Amino acid sequence: MKDLGQNSAKSFNNIDSALIKLMAFLYPNLLFVQNNP
């Protein structure tokens, strides 16, 4: 049970970092599109 919790926490951290990278990539593009219709 303990190992399962640690593994799921690790995968959540991986998902979080992937989402942060994705948002960091997409967010400036969204701002650029909004400012230049």
pLDDT over 80 (residue 6): no
Domain count, the chain: 1
Average pLDDT over residues 16-25: 90
User: Three-state SS string across 1-37, please?
Assistant: CHHHHHHHHHHHHHHHHHHHHHHHHHHHHHHHHHHCC
Q: Report pLDDT for 31.
A: 78
Average pLDDT over residues 2-31: 81
pLDDT over 70 (residue 3): no
pLDDT band at residue 33 using 50, 70 and 90 as cut-offs: confident
Domain ranges, residue 14: 3-33
Q: Report pLDDT for 21.
A: 92
